[in-house]
């Protein structure tokens, strides 16, 4: 095998390792009482599994959405054309902090519409600006 072929195989293996590592990091989960909760689970399941959080916060998060709005259709008066217009909406968001004891990083759970949307640990758990 020549040097170019060896480099090509090395690059493919490195790319595969990066893709595998990236997919493993995306979905976080939290274990409480030997049962896991993960992104997509309900707030009720989180409460049942992990109990009450040490600190709970609720706030209105700004989210960009597209809202259909009628606009005049050029050349045809009175016939509206629907166009997607970006707008900022307010979505109620809950953030719960679980202190998990010595040897464990604290966990911050973020929820919207009764479902877990993210789980972060330790320094990653710090909230983003709202």
In the predicted structure, residue 3 carries a pLDDT above the cut 60: no
Number of domains in the chain: 1
Is 114 a member of any domain? yes
Is 62 a member of any domain? yes
In the predicted structure, residue 14 carries a pLDDT above the cut 60: no
pLDDT band at 11 (very low <50, low <70, confident <90, very high): low
The parent domain of residue 73 ranges over 30-125
**Residue 30: its pLDDT value, please?**
92
**Residue 70: its pLDDT value, please?**
76
Helix (H, G, I), strand (E, B) or coil at 105: coil
At residue 79, φ and ψ (nearest 5 deg) are: -105, 105
Is 118 a member of any domain? yes
Q: How many CB atoms lie within 10 A of CB 38?
A: 14
Is 11 a member of any domain? no
Length of the chain: 130
Is 2 a member of any domain? no
DSSP 8-state class, residue 52: S
**Residue 100: its pLDDT value, please?**
87
Using one digit for the tens of pLDDT, what is the confidence trace for 16-69? Answer: 554 444 444 456 889 988 899 999 999 999 999 999 999 999 999 988 888 777
Is 76 a member of any domain? yes
CATH code (residue 72): 3.30.1450
- Output the average pLDDT for the chain: 79
Is 1 a member of any domain? no
Using one digit for the tens of pLDDT, what is the confidence trace for 83-124? Answer: 777 888 899 999 999 998 888 899 999 999 999 999 999 865
């Amino acid at each position: 095998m020549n040097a170019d072929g060896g480099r090509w195989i090395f690059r493919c293996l490195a790319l595969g390792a990066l893709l595998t590592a990236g997919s493993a990091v995306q979905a976080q989960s939290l274990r409480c009482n030997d049962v896991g909760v993960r992104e997509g689970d309900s707030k009720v399941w989180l409460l049942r599994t992990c109990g009450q959080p040490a600190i709970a916060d609720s706030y209105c998060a700004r989210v960009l959405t597209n809202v259909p709005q009628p606009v005049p259709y050029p050349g045809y008066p009175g016939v509206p054309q629907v166009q997607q217009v970006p707008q900022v909406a307010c979505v109620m968001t809950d953030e719960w902090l679980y202190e998990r004891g010595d040897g464990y990083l604290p966990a911050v759970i973020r929820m919207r519409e009764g479902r877990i949307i993210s789980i972060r640990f330790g320094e990653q758990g710090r909230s983003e600006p709202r």
